[in-house]
């Protein structure tokens, strides 16, 4: 069976060069966006006229922060779920029964 010709080093480098700027631009945009949100947050926190911190105001008033916060919470949720899955094998049967009961109570 004929083998597929492998790509030359130059072709591989060209592909990498095409993809890297795109990724760098996406990273730069994400960093710029996070920097803007952090600056907005710090401006609010450093304002001495604010007697109380209003988290809802910060999240709603800072463009893109609510979306970022929701994405972060979902990402964190997935990490927690994975940690729980990995640790289940190490738990005693009694601990597993307790967890099972808690889950059943939440579903009812």
CA–CA dist 96, 68 (Å, integer): 34
In a domain, 2, yes or no: no
In a domain, 4, yes or no: no
CA–CA dist 5, 46 (Å, integer): 61
Q: Which residue has the tokens 């945009």?
A: 29
In a domain, 3, yes or no: no
Per the CB < 8 A criterion, the answer to whether 37 and 68 are in contact is yes
Q: Total domain count for the chain?
A: 1
Q: What pLDDT score was predicted for residue 19?
A: 44
Q: Which domain holds residue 56?
A: 9-107
Please enumerate in sequence order all residues whose Cβ is within 8 A of that of 59, keeping only pairs 6 or more positions apart, or say none.
65, 66, 69
State pLDDT tens for residues 30-49.
Answer: 899 999 999 999 999 899 89
| pLDDT class of 73 with cuts at 50, 70, 90 | very high
pTM for the whole structure: 0.54
| pLDDT class of 6 with cuts at 50, 70, 90 | low
């Amino acid at each position: 069976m004929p083998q597929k010709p492998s790509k030359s080093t130059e072709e591989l480098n060209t592909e990498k060069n095409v993809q890297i700027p795109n990724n760098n631009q996406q990273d730069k945009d994400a960093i710029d966006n996070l920097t803007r949100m952090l600056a907005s947050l710090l401006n609010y926190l450093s304002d001495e006229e604010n007697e109380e911190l209003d988290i809802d105001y910060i999240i709603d008033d800072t463009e893109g922060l609510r979306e970022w916060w929701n994405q972060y919470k979902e990402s964190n949720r997935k990490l927690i779920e994975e940690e729980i899955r990995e640790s289940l094998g190490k738990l005693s049967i009694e601990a597993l029964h307790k967890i099972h009961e808690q889950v059943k109570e939440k579903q009812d």
